[in-house]
């Protein structure tokens, strides 16, 4: 994996030289930004620096407080609802572009370390796209099971959220994220949640028309828009309430 990243850096550096030589300032700036992103990825594959400072400033839970961490990728990080997260004491620990292996790397820091009663794990979209991962159901399943087992060992109740639908409404999404494979991932998640005593949070059914993301609920065919998040909100609240009833940690 690191060899592939180093190759990408070398190629990006070559492109930067060529674009600067050609006097294409805008293209060179964009390439420099891409190189910087690749360097950050190489030095911090798991994204541990993203929330490190925020976690260190977070006080311990108050007596009786039941924290909830929303832990995931693009759809989690981009869920910017001021009336949802702060009002409920929910903590957003999403990082766009991450696969389930990267989430597992930061699970101890960004979930266990903030002492929640419940974690909502929402992953898999970037596994489907094989972004820095083999992207098989087996590797995805291993990472989800590891996170679930870590949570349970630390007294944290688990909600496993379905992958969201995709559509080619604006850009081509289904070529990288096959709806057939997506359905297979969700079937496994549903079955594993039941076997592991976790709560299964079915976003997919509420956002999909058949196998496709409803156009009016997505910004780009991959991530929800405000209307899409409005649909997800009560589903998440019910899933969290169900998890808390089953004995989430209270301090």
Tokens of 66: 């039941």
| Residue 34: pLDDT band with limits 50, 70, 90 | low
Query: Do residue 35 and residue 86 come from a single domain?
Result: no
The pTM (predicted TM-score) of the whole model is 0.85
pLDDT, mean over the chain: 89
Please compute the mean of the pLDDT values over residues 232-249 and round it to a whole number. 90
Sheet-wide strand order for 199-201: 90-94, 68-72, 118-122, 157-161, 199-201
When pLDDT is cut at 50, 70 and 90, the band that residue 37 belongs to is low
The residue-averaged pLDDT of 238-250 equals 82
Domain CATH for 187: 3.40.50.1110
Quote the pLDDT of residue 22.
Answer: 47
Q: Which H or E run includes 212? A: strand 212-213
pLDDT in tens, 74-88: 999 999 887 888 888
The CA distance from 195 to 211, in Å, is 25
Q: How many domains does the chain divide into?
A: 2
Let me know if residue 53 belongs to a domain: no
Residues 163 and 112 in one domain: yes
What is the predicted pLDDT for the residue at 23? 53
Rounded Cα gap, residues 164 and 231, in angstroms? 12
Its domain, for residue 84, covers 60-245
User: Does one domain contain both 147 and 233?
Assistant: yes
Q: Please, what is the angle between helix 137-153 and helix 179-196, to 10°?
A: 30
Question: pLDDT at position 13, please?
Answer: 54
How are beta strands 199-201 and 90-94 bridged, if at all?
A: unpaired
């Amino acid at each position: 994996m690191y060899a592939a990243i180093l190759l990408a850096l070398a190629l990006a550096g070559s492109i930067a030289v060529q674009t600067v030589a050609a006097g294409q300032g805008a293209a060179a700036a964009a390439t420099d930004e891409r190189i910087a992103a690749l360097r950050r990825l190489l030095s911090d594959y798991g994204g541990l620096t993203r929330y490190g400072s925020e976690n260190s400033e977070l006080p311990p839970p108050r007596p009786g407080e039941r924290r909830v961490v929303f832990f995931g990728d693009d759809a989690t990080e981009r869920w910017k609802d001021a009336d949802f997260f702060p009002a409920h004491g929910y903590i957003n620990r999403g990082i766009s572009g991450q696969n389930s292996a990267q989430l597992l790397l930061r699970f101890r820091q960004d979930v266990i370390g903030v002492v929640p009663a419940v974690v909502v794990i929402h992953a898999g979209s970037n596994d489907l796209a094989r972004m820095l991962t083999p992207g098989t159901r087996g590797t995805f399943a291993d990472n989800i099971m590891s996170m679930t087992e870590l949570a349970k060992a630390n007294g944290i109740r688990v909600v496993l959220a379905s992958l969201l639908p995709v559509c080619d409404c604006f850009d081509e999404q289904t070529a990288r994220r096959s709806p057939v494979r997506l359905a297979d991932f969700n079937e496994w998640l549903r079955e594993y949640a039941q076997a592991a005593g976790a709560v299964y949070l079915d976003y997919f059914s509420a956002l999909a028309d058949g196998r496709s993301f409803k156009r009016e609920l997505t910004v780009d065919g991959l991530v929800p828009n405000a209307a899409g998040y409005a649909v997800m909100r009560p589903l998440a609240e019910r899933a969290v309430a169900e998890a808390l009833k089953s004995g989430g940690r209270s301090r």
